[in-house]
Amino acid sequence: MAKKFRIEIAADECKGCYRCLAVCPKKLIARGKELNIQGYFAVTVAEPGNCIGCGSCFYQCPEPGAITIYEEE
Amino acid sequence: MAYNKRLLLKGNEAAVYGALLAGCDCYFGYPITPASEIAQAAALLFPKLNRTFVQAESEIGAINMVIGCAAAGRRTMTASSGLGISLKQEGMSYLAAYEMPAVIVDVMRGGPGLGNIGPEQSDYFQVVKGGGHGSYRCLVFTPNSVQEMCDMVYQAFPMAEKYRMPAYVLTDGVIGQMMESLELPEPVKYDYDPEWKMGRRVNGEANIISSIYMEYNDLEALNIRLQEKYALIQKTEQQVEEIAVDDAELVLVAYGISSRVAQGAVEILRAEGLKVGLIRPKMVFPFPQDSLKRAAEHVKGFLCCEHSAGQMIEDIRLTIECKRPVKLCNRMGGNLLTVADVCDAARKMLKEVK
Amino acid sequence: MSEKVKFGRSKVFFDTFHRRPGPIKKNMHYCPGCGHGILHKLVAEAIEHFGIQENTTPIAPVGCAVFAYYYFNVGSISVPHGRAPAVGTGAGRANPESYVISYQGDGDLAAIGFNEFLQAANRGEKMTVFFVNNSNYGMTGGQMAPTTLPGQKTTTSPYGRNPETEGYPTPVCEIVNSLTAPVYIERVALTTPGRVAAAKKAVYKGIQNLKERKGFSLIEVVAPCPINLKMSADQVNEFIEKQMLNYFPLGCLRDKTAELPEGKLPPPVIRDEESVREILFPKRNENAVAADFRNTSDIFDQELRVKIGGFGGQGVLSLGVMLANMARLRNFNVSWMPSYGPEQRGGAACCAVTVSRKAIPSPIIDRGGNLLIAMTQAAFDKYIGELREDGILIYDHTAVKLPELPAAMKTYGIDALDIAGNQLGNSKFANSVLIGALAAVLAKNGMNEADQADFSRAFAEAVEEKFGKKPGAVEANINAYNAGIAAMK
């Protein structure tokens, strides 16, 4: 059975640089429409469960905890 | 085993013995006349104890290596002279801000500019008044013999650690270059896990060392704390030698080689029946204010003997609040005051103030 | 069903950045899209991976990364601009068990601190340097950096960097690659996922090299600075790929790590008191006199002020040192002061030796001398005025022509160089001949018999101290000393 992954965005930690947008092979990440506490339009994930766990977005993101990718055990 | 601790050493070499016996682990330095024997002796002796000698690429490199070593919680020393000390001022300011101990030996030479390698005492301002940016002070020992070059370096480490600040050993080309008999002190061990050590963990959190305070109030608080520390040191740590001051009408004030010359002059003048004494600061920060203020109660004047255009003389005047005349007896450019020069100046001043 | 974190916040970071002032405690202070954050994550992850958090000490530069210590829970120091490799040298040498990282930007490393950086690289310090190259000075607002591209506009190159006057981008990796000591040099970029993966590999390698103490590693990271460059994420990636990489080609320039064994820690510092004594203190000479020994002749009760002048090579300075050592061995206080200044290199040599039972005030002899040893006419002319009228003059018979001198002055000529060179076969013995002559002269001037014998013993002890390890040297010098005594008798 294929491993399942889930992507989670800590919206208040996103600074809206959008480096993660283009690198997602599944195009799961989009610009959000709401300002976070830092005043940025944080990214959102429409279908977090479709994540394939490649980590590209995580390593593009300059913030330590804005993106977390979980793996089902 | 019976050892011979009574040696004949250059002042510069004695400084290295003082450092090693005090438990100094690392020496970082750049050669410069007339301080080079310190680097040379360190290069010879530190490795014998598996300790570190690094010939740094520059004075700036050296003082920053000292910063690194101090941050690692080890006793460390560097040495230079005049223009080299000018280059080190950046690092001195950081050491003061970090509140980290280190020992810096300054074997003064002639200035300004490249000057020459002759002895002067013209680093007083840059060493005693801060020297780099910011409101800070360093402890400043002023040895006037080879014995004191050793002893004061030895003493500088624990005092620098007690107050967590850099300590200078400020001397001149004569004291650095001449050889004298001395008695070496005993080796000491010290606590190798000091509280300021980088990476020391308290409740799982690693200690960091920084001198940047983004909040103005935080930086002001640091400055206030530093000034309180300096005031305490000024009050409690003065070190001075007084010779024939009690009944003196004229007091010579001199440190380093000038004080040796002045002492020779006092002996001659006393033999002539003239009431002349000597106040010799063994440290110039803290400045021997108590001694000078006491003397100001009864003397008719002070004669400051120094090999500069008159730097320490300003602190004498400030200390006694200009209550008595203070005159300067000086030579510059590498020329030394002679005992006769000081005697003549003292006789002349005694006539003027009577 | 449970979940584990596959990619997430490294444990090497503080969970909450409590050291960071202001309300934002989970984020770094860097601008949106900044390469520093990405590199911080890679470094933190590598430190965690290799399990060296406890002893890692990153040195924070002046520049955008000055606050790196807000984030990493490791021992750290923020240092003067450009000096991180020097501070790292000190920290690493002082504590060889630590793992030193120098984290620097363009200005810090390639401009104001280029010397400290290159010298540390050339010494092969055991540290890993992360060099963030983003083509401008970020913290101060986008000024020109050594890495700014030709034609690139910055706040201090408003017309574009002009290579005619401002030179070309500094190829840091290539320069370091001309040195012998560094073990690993690689340039990476933070653009596409593939590039970032390569960067991660390089960062891991740099941290592994630290752990294995392989030597100096340099990882140059071509990084985005979108805010100062006024670009979007895509634009800055394109700028790096299409422009920066022309000047800063990616790849590994050197990797010697596979062929190197794991580095060893240096031997521990010797601290125990008895070992320190044994290494630093000379062994006490069995023939040494007791601490309360005093020579009994009256001449030793005064302060003796001796001036020795000649030219370099005659052993003037070492003659003075030998006399000073003899006096020290007999419990006198002694000062030896060399001629000091340009004179030192100009051929003339002179020293002053003061011997006293009391503390010696001025070690400078400018008048009131008791003894002058003049090896040249110039030295005689220069220093005779300092000698007391009843002083003792020992002079080179051939070199010095004596004028009329005060009647009370005692003068003794000797041809020490001739005796040493012609009779003893080596002019370097002239010193010992002169000390022998001095012994004879002192014997004629009040040194009693006991002290005459002791003077010779003190000489033998001083020579033994100096030449004890050279076969034959002690005997040869004593022989010369005896020749001096004989010549003066």
Q: Based on the domain organization, do B269 and B152 belong to the same domain?
A: no
Domain with B309 in it: what CATH number? Answer: 3.40.50.920
Q: Distance between alpha carbon C411 and the CA centroid of its chain, in Å? A: 48
CA distance B186 to chain C (A): 8
Domain boundary among B191, B219, B236: B236
**If you average pLDDT over residues C4-24, what whole number do you get?**
94
Domain boundary among B236, B269, B304: B236
Please give the pLDDT value at position C1.
66
Q: Within an 8 Å CB–CB cutoff, is residue C24 touching chain B?
A: no
| Closest residue in B to C54 (Cα–Cα) | B199
Residue whose C-alpha is closest to residue A62's, from C160, C163, C32, B70? C32
Residue whose C-alpha is closest to residue B103's, from B190, B186, B6, B182? B190
CA distance B165 to C440: 56
Chain C residues with beta carbon closer than 8 angstroms to that of B5? 281
C91-137 pLDDT tens trace: 999 999 999 999 999 999 999 999 999 999 999 999 999 999 999 99
Q: Based on the domain organization, do B245 and B271 belong to the same domain?
A: yes
Determine, for residues C9 and A58 on separate chains, whether the beta-carbon distance falls below 8 Å.
Answer: no
Of the ranges C159-168, C237-246, C286-295, which one carries the lowest mean pLDDT score?
C286-295
**If you average pLDDT over residues B192-207, what whole number do you get?**
90
Q: Within an 8 Å CB–CB cutoff, is residue C261 touching chain A?
A: no
- Asked if pLDDT for residue C165 goes beyond 90, the answer is yes
A20-48 pLDDT tens trace: 999 999 999 999 999 999 999 999 998 98
- Asked if pLDDT for residue C471 goes beyond 90, the answer is no
Determine, for residues C86 and B52 on separate chains, whether the beta-carbon distance falls below 8 Å.
Answer: no
Residues in chain A: 73
Could you tell me which residues of chain A have a Cβ less than 8 Å from any Cβ in chain C?
Answer: 5-6, 10, 12-13, 15-19, 21-23, 38, 40, 53-56, 58-73
Q: Based on the domain organization, do B261 and B335 belong to the same domain?
A: yes
Please give the pLDDT value at position C312.
78
Query: How many CA within 13 A on the CB side of residue B267?
Result: 12
Strands ordered across the beta sheet of B208-209: B208-209, C76-78, C56-60, C99-105, C127-133, C217-222, C184-189, C251-255
In a domain? residue B1: no
Q: Which of C364, C365, C466 to probe the B interface (max B CBs under 10 A)?
A: C364
CA distance C486 to C436: 8
- Asked if pLDDT for residue C245 goes beyond 80, the answer is yes
Domain-by-domain residue ranges, chain C? Answer: 35-259, 295-488
CA distance C226 to chain A (A): 9
Chain A residues with beta carbon closer than 8 angstroms to that of C224? 19
- The partner residue sitting opposite B26, judged by closest CB among C87, C90, C271, is C90
Q: Distance between alpha carbon B239 and the CA centroid of its chain, in Å? A: 12
Domain with B126 in it: what CATH number? Answer: 3.40.50.970
Of the ranges B205-209, B313-317, B337-341, C285-289, which one carries the lowest mean pLDDT score?
C285-289
Determine, for residues C4 and A54 on separate chains, whether the beta-carbon distance falls below 8 Å.
Answer: no
Chain C residues with beta carbon closer than 8 angstroms to that of B339? 361-362, 364, 366-367
The percent of residues above 70 in pLDDT, for chain C, comes to: 98
Q: Which residues neighbour A46 within 8 Å (Cβ) at sequence distance 6 or greater?
A: A28, A30
Kindly list the partner chains of chain B, i.e. chains with 3 or more CB atom pairs below 8 Å.
C
- Asked if pLDDT for residue A4 goes beyond 70, the answer is yes
CA distance C188 to chain A (A): 14
Determine, for residues A38 and C27 on separate chains, whether the beta-carbon distance falls below 8 Å.
Answer: yes
Find residue C5's DSSP bridge partners: A70
Please give the pLDDT value at position B179.
98
Per the CB < 8 A criterion, the answer to whether C349 and C309 are in contact is yes
Q: Based on the domain organization, do B261 and B186 belong to the same domain?
A: no
Chain C residues with beta carbon closer than 8 angstroms to that of A59? 7, 38, 41-42, 193, 196-197, 200
Q: Within an 8 Å CB–CB cutoff, is residue B4 touching chain C?
A: yes
CA distance C108 to C146: 10
Q: Within an 8 Å CB–CB cutoff, is residue C22 touching chain A?
A: no
CA distance B58 to chain C (A): 8
B15-43 pLDDT tens trace: 999 999 999 999 999 999 999 999 999 99
Q: Based on the domain organization, do B127 and B180 belong to the same domain?
A: yes
CA distance A34 to chain C (A): 17
- The partner residue sitting opposite C28, judged by closest CB among A64, A70, A71, is A64
For B109, the 3-state DSSP assignment is strand
Residues 119-158 of B with CB under 8 A from C: 119, 146
**If you average pLDDT over residues C170-189, what whole number do you get?**
98
Determine, for residues C335 and B48 on separate chains, whether the beta-carbon distance falls below 8 Å.
Answer: no
Q: Based on the structure, what is the number of domains in chain A?
A: 1
Whether domain C35-259 has CATH 3.40.50.10190: no
Averaged confidence pLDDT in chain C: 95
Phi and psi dihedrals of B68, rounded to 5? -60, -40
- Asked if pLDDT for residue B310 goes beyond 90, the answer is yes
Averaged confidence pLDDT in chain A: 94
Burial tier of B249 (Cβ tally within 10 Å: 0-12, 13-18, 19+): middle
Write the DSSP symbol of residue B2: -
C27-83 pLDDT tens trace: 999 999 999 999 999 999 999 999 999 999 999 999 999 999 999 999 999 999 999
CA distance B8 to C92: 35
Chain A residues with beta carbon closer than 8 angstroms to that of C193? 23, 54, 56, 59-60
Please give the pLDDT value at position C346.
58
| Closest residue in C to A13 (Cα–Cα) | C27
- The partner residue sitting opposite A13, judged by closest CB among C2, C27, C224, is C27
Chain A residues with beta carbon closer than 8 angstroms to that of C33? 15, 17-19, 62
State which residues form the domain around B297.
Answer: 240-353
Q: Based on the domain organization, do B61 and B176 belong to the same domain?
A: yes
Determine, for residues A59 and C193 on separate chains, whether the beta-carbon distance falls below 8 Å.
Answer: yes
Determine, for residues B64 and C361 on separate chains, whether the beta-carbon distance falls below 8 Å.
Answer: no
Please give the pLDDT value at position C110.
98
Domain with A37 in it: what CATH number? Answer: 3.30.70.20
Burial tier of B220 (Cβ tally within 10 Å: 0-12, 13-18, 19+): exposed
Per the CB < 8 A criterion, the answer to whether B196 and B209 are in contact is yes
B40-61 pLDDT tens trace: 999 999 999 999 999 999 999 9
Per the CB < 8 A criterion, the answer to whether C323 and C439 are in contact is no
C423-437 pLDDT tens trace: 999 988 999 999 999
Q: Based on the structure, what is the number of domains in chain B?
A: 2
For A31, the 3-state DSSP assignment is strand
Chain A residues with beta carbon closer than 8 angstroms to that of C37? 61-64
Q: Based on the domain organization, do B214 and B254 belong to the same domain?
A: no
The strand pair at C251-255 and C3-7 is best described as unpaired
CA distance C334 to B43: 26
- Asked if pLDDT for residue C344 goes beyond 70, the answer is no
Q: Within an 8 Å CB–CB cutoff, is residue C32 touching chain A?
A: yes
Q: Based on the domain organization, do B142 and B289 belong to the same domain?
A: no
Specify the CATH number of the domain C295-488: 3.40.920.10
Kindly list the partner chains of chain C, i.e. chains with 3 or more CB atom pairs below 8 Å.
A, B
Per the CB < 8 A criterion, the answer to whether B278 and B263 are in contact is yes
- Asked if pLDDT for residue C477 goes beyond 90, the answer is yes
- Asked if pLDDT for residue C372 goes beyond 70, the answer is yes
The percent of residues above 90 in pLDDT, for chain B, comes to: 95
- The partner residue sitting opposite B198, judged by closest CB among C91, C334, C360, is C91
- Asked if pLDDT for residue B83 goes beyond 60, the answer is yes
Q: Which residues neighbour B198 within 8 Å (Cβ) at sequence distance 6 or greater?
A: B71, B72, B73, B206, B207, B208, B209, C57, C75, C76, C77, C91
- Asked if pLDDT for residue B192 goes beyond 80, the answer is no
Please give the pLDDT value at position C348.
85
Q: Which of A3, A19, A45 to probe the C interface (max C CBs under 10 A)?
A: A19
Please give the pLDDT value at position C367.
87
Q: Based on the domain organization, do B105 and B212 belong to the same domain?
A: yes
Q: Which residue has the tokens 């300054």?
A: B106
Q: Based on the domain organization, do B105 and B210 belong to the same domain?
A: yes
Please give the pLDDT value at position B354.
81
Chain A residues with beta carbon closer than 8 angstroms to that of C34? 17, 62
Chain C residues with beta carbon closer than 8 angstroms to that of B1? 277-278, 283
Identify the helix (H) or strand (E) that includes residue A5. Answer: strand A5-9
**If you average pLDDT over residues C265-280, what whole number do you get?**
96
State which residues form the domain around A34.
Answer: 5-71
**If you average pLDDT over residues C18-26, what whole number do you get?**
92
- Asked if pLDDT for residue C169 goes beyond 70, the answer is yes
- The partner residue sitting opposite C4, judged by closest CB among A58, A67, A70, is A70
Determine, for residues C87 and B208 on separate chains, whether the beta-carbon distance falls below 8 Å.
Answer: no
Predicted-complex ipTM score:
0.97
Chains B, A in contact, 3 or more Cβ pairs below 8 Å: no
| Closest residue in C to A19 (Cα–Cα) | C233
- The partner residue sitting opposite C6, judged by closest CB among A12, A53, A64, is A53
The percent of residues above 70 in pLDDT, for chain B, comes to: 100
CA distance C197 to C204: 11
Please give the pLDDT value at position B254.
98
CA distance C246 to chain B (A): 33
Q: Which residue has the tokens 């409101």?
A: B135
- Asked if pLDDT for residue B171 goes beyond 80, the answer is yes
Residues 38-57 of C with CB under 8 A from A: 38, 40-42, 44
Q: Within an 8 Å CB–CB cutoff, is residue C234 touching chain A?
A: yes
The model's confidence at residue C345, banded by pLDDT at 50, 70 and 90, is low
Q: Based on the domain organization, do B179 and B263 belong to the same domain?
A: no
Please give the pLDDT value at position C340.
55
Determine, for residues B50 and C267 on separate chains, whether the beta-carbon distance falls below 8 Å.
Answer: yes
Domain boundary among B218, B236, B254: B236
Query: How many CA within 13 A on the CB side of residue B300?
Result: 15
